[in-house]
Amino acid sequence: MKTYSGAPYAPDTHSALQRRLLRNASLPARATQADALRLRTAPLVPEVHLFLAEDPVLLWARIEADAGTRLPAPFWATAWAGGQGLARYVLDHPDLVAGRTVLDLASGSGLVAIAAAQAGAAEVTANDIDGYAIAAIQANANANGVRLICDDRDLTDGDGGDAEVVLAGDCLYSAELAARFVPFVARAAARGATVLLGDPGRGHAPETELETVTTYDLPATSAADYEQHEKSYVLRPASRVPAMRPGR
């Protein structure tokens, strides 16, 4: 596990490439370039400032060219529709997280984790398996003046450990990932954690397993995601009432 909680771009925790990426990409001189990152806010969450891509595909091409190798898409450079709704919900309901330990799974930019910290969580761990996301989360945490613990392990075989609150924004973007994340959140809920997910209706959230807590309308200009979505749904594991057996 890597944990970061101090200065930005700590040399022992980030590769030189990651440091260069975030430093160069956010320079004012690059700010108008389409492959740059820019510090800005997402439509539903004006409280949180994030280094976001002007154009994620062009950014992806540039960081692959810099790295000289194929890389995962820079999902950390987008404020995903599902994450926006979940972050909004956390900020609007701070009692959910205030004074509690929070795990933000599939954290990407750290949007939801930062919202949890702003809402008064005692300790927030941002988890993502992409090392670039970890660097971005640290940069974004610093930009917002909050302290996060970062964890780059794949935690989906577990149940969220001792986190009292488990949050997951837009982690159900493929059937394959839903098959990992839905059982994970069910295990976290079964051990007593408060569990919330955010999803814009990508079609991989099983209605039998997850129920809707609330729905947000996304502004039409909310092109911060790879696709345009009209809604962002906050979901939780469905409460299961034990079936009554005949004769009992």
Ligand X SMILES: C[S@@+](CC[C@H](N)C(=O)[O-])C[C@H]1O[C@@H](n2cnc3c(N)ncnc32)[C@H](O)[C@@H]1O
Binding interface with ligand X (CB under 6 A): 75-76, 79-80, 82-83, 105-109, 111-112, 127-130, 133, 154, 156, 169-171, 173, 177
Write down the least CB distance from residue 123 to ligand X, Å: 18
Nearer to ligand X, 22 or 247 (CB): 22
Nearer to ligand X, 102 or 171 (CB): 171
Write down the least CB distance from residue 112 to ligand X, Å: 5
Nearer to ligand X, 85 or 237 (CB): 85
Quote the tokens at residue 98: 């205030």
Cα(97)–Cα(124) distance, integer angstroms: 9
45 closest CA partner among 146, 123, 144: 144
> Exposed/middle/buried for 39, CB within 10 Å: 0-12, 13-18, 19+?
middle
**Angle subtended at Cα 62 by Cα 37 and Cα 53, rounded to the nearest 5 degrees:** 25
Write down the least CB distance from residue 234 to ligand X, Å: 12
Polymer length of the chain:
248
Nearer to ligand X, 35 or 130 (CB): 130
Pairing of strands 231-237, 210-217: antiparallel
Write down the least CB distance from residue 45 to ligand X, Å: 10
Give the CB-nearest residue to ligand X.
Answer: 83
